[in-house]
Amino acid sequence: MNHVSRLVEGGKTAVGSFQEGYDMLVEAIIRPPRNRYDDTQLGPRRFMFAGRIYHRQDLEIASQRPERLLLKCSHFKPEPKADARPLRRPCVVFLHGNAGCRTEGLCVIKTVLAASADLFLFDFGGSGQSQGEYVSLGHWEKEDLAAVVNHLRSSDTVTSIGLWGRSMGAVTALLYAVRDSSIAGMVLDSPFTDLRTLAGELCEKETFGAVPAWLVDAALSVIKVSIQQRAGFDVDDLCPINGASSTTCPAIFSAADEDDFIYPHHSRSLEDEYSGQSRFVSFEGDHNSERPPEFLDEVRIFFMRTLHGSRPDDIWKAERDKAAAQITAPSDADESLRESQNAESAKRHMELLKHSPFGDDSASAGSFPIPEPPPDPAEADKRAAEEAKRAAARRERQVRDLARRQDEPRSAENSPQRRAPPPRSPAGANGGYSNRGGIAAPSQAAPSKADIKQQLIALGFTSSQVEKAMLRSSTLEGCVEWILTES
């Protein structure tokens, strides 16, 4: 979703003026750059993993959207033996981001297969090779997902279903799970709480406050009509946090520490509101960086616990009990035995990988772009120490940023050309902004008519437009909205 930053440039240049920024904002939401690929990038059709032969089945499924778009899909599953019935196994459905496609899910295939589950990938409508012109950041994508889930359940080869979504895909999973409580478990990587808050934060960050959040909010209010006409959905419906309190399937919420596109506080806020068993996991990196092996291994364990058999009453109880038991220091003999067992387990794991190449017998098998599987699970105390170290680093950065902002001269702080974004709390507070229904709005005194006129002219509007707008509205937001709709 990095293309959204183009909206900012439109806002800075008074938008040729504002019509250009208007079109950019519409495109940023419903028509991001489409990820094009060919079938050679979908991975091998037949390969071996952990001593078992798998194959890739490509298929088409009709979406449950009104227009019944055809969705391009791939199902990675064990190859049945001759004259044998296909195995009945759990399946994880991977949901890609708004400018992505099903090839995005290839990086998790080893994690999912290691959890003794199939992997199902597909292109949302309007993405990749699927039909459709627009995306909707989760609104219509949940109907695509509904069609996929129905297909898997009617196949009689899938026992339970898990969802693994990233960015738009994570929002889609949240919106769908509100109406389907039978989903066994979800991994939600970098979802947003609501579209208006996300758009305001992006604009504020990229322009250092030169294009205020209220202006983006006003623009969203205007373009919602265009989006409704073109893509058939209301931008105000994109508010996953409204349904978090009524969703009960187990979930992992995750975010990268340095993600400055969808800030980590979105995942934290969603996890705080979530009704089902849940855990928040943070890791180093940004929005698009490769997820660390420790996180992938935690996901593997999560799906092992949720996809097989009945849903546990407490998914993470065993880990908490183990951590509590380790408060008592082990004896030297116990420590030595544990190290020996870990070394032997790692040796067997490496031998298995050496004799189980991921790919078919062709020369190109070794070039399949899937990372090595995650290592054996780290010890609970080591994880806790690493998490504490990352938390301390985050706190140090926050204190340093806050001190830097407080030292800036007041004149620079109030400058409309460059103002640093206000500090955010880890829990997601919009510092410097009041929150009304998830919409960020500036908490400042109303400007005078002279100030309004000066700011409108500074934004690039003509004197004639400004005079006409000020006859119809006494607020800066109202004037901008009138110009955008009437010009």
pTM: predicted TM-score of the whole model, two decimal places: 0.70
- Within 13 A of 374's CA, how many CA atoms are on the CB side? 23
Residue 78 shares a structural domain with residue 126: yes
Residue 373 shares a structural domain with residue 244: yes
What average pLDDT is seen over the chain?
Answer: 79
Q: Over 50: is that where the pLDDT of 148 sits?
A: yes
- Least Cα distance to 91 among 189, 165, 188, 183 occurs for 183
Q: How far apart are CA 226 and CA 434, in angstroms?
A: 27
Q: How far apart are CA 108 and CA 251, in angstroms?
A: 17
Number of domains in the chain: 3
Q: Over 60: is that where the pLDDT of 77 sits?
A: yes
Q: What integer pLDDT is reported at residue 292 of this predicted model? A: 96
Residue 168 shares a structural domain with residue 69: yes
Question: Beta strand 89-95 with 118-122: parallel, antiparallel or unpaired?
Answer: parallel
In a domain, 83, yes or no: yes
Q: Over 80: is that where the pLDDT of 203 sits?
A: no
CATH (domain of 188): 3.40.50.1820
Residue 180 shares a structural domain with residue 259: yes
Q: How confident is the model at residue 452 (pLDDT cuts 50, 70, 90)?
A: confident
Q: How far apart are CA 466 and CA 460, in angstroms?
A: 10
Q: What integer pLDDT is reported at residue 202 of this predicted model? A: 80
Domain holding 309, by residue range, is 37-194+238-323+332-378
Q: Over 80: is that where the pLDDT of 429 sits?
A: no
Q: What integer pLDDT is reported at residue 324 of this predicted model? A: 73
Q: What integer pLDDT is reported at residue 284 of this predicted model? A: 95
Q: Over 90: is that where the pLDDT of 459 sits?
A: no
Residue 51 shares a structural domain with residue 147: yes
**Residue 319 Cα distances to 165, 206, 243, 302, 310, angstroms:** 24, 41, 29, 11, 19
Residue 279 shares a structural domain with residue 319: yes
Q: How confident is the model at residue 444 (pLDDT cuts 50, 70, 90)?
A: very low
In a domain, 93, yes or no: yes
Q: What integer pLDDT is reported at residue 407 of this predicted model? A: 56
Q: What integer pLDDT is reported at residue 478 of this predicted model? A: 77
Residue 262 shares a structural domain with residue 401: no
In a domain, 277, yes or no: yes
Render pLDDT for 23-56 as a digit per residue (tens, 0 to 9): 777 888 899 999 999 999 999 999 999 999 999 9
In a domain, 11, yes or no: no
- Least Cα distance to 254 among 169, 319, 196 occurs for 169
Residue 373 shares a structural domain with residue 390: no
Higher pLDDT among residues 342 and 153, named by residue: 153
- Mean pLDDT lowest among 339-343, 346-350, 382-386: 346-350
Residue 356 shares a structural domain with residue 252: yes
* Phi, psi torsion values for 280, nearest 5 degrees: -100, 130
Q: How far apart are CA 107 and CA 372, in angstroms?
A: 10
- Within 13 A of 479's CA, how many CA atoms are on the CB side? 24
In a domain, 141, yes or no: yes
Question: Beta strand 52-62 with 70-78: parallel, antiparallel or unpaired?
Answer: antiparallel
Q: What integer pLDDT is reported at residue 415 of this predicted model? A: 40
- Mean pLDDT lowest among 6-10, 199-203, 273-277, 339-343: 6-10
